[in-house]
Amino acid sequence: MAVSKGDKVRIKRQESYWFNEVGSVVSVEATNKYGVMVRFEKTNYFGIQGTDNGNLTNSFAESELERA
């Protein structure tokens, strides 16, 4: 499966905070193992714990993604 910028994808990495969540692909870098950067609507647990900002993006391998 080849993903490209702007695609909607579902996360299949079970240990990820965003497991089974849908995000949009921000960038694809073929030279890196985790070269697909995905942006989400909700922040991760850092934003919930009272810090200034949570993370809205994370990098994944293409094998950890499924088109939504």
Residue 60 lies in a domain: yes
Name which of 53, 46, 60 is nearest 16 in CA terms.
60
Residue 62 is part of a domain; what is its CATH number? 2.30.30.50
Sequence-distant (6+) residues with CB within 8 A of 48 are: 54
**Structural domain boundaries enclosing 46:** 8-67
Give pLDDT, residue 30. 86
Q: 32-62, pLDDT tens digit by residue?
A: 899 999 999 887 766 555 555 667 889 999 9
The secondary structure of the chain, three-state, reads CCCCCCCEEEECCCCCCCCCCEEEEEEECCCCCCCEEEECCCCCHHHHCCCCCCCCEEEECHHHEEEC
For the chain, the domain total comes to 1
Residue 1 lies in a domain: no
Entry pTM:
0.83
Task: Work out the percent of the chain whose per-residue pLDDT is above 70.
Answer: 84
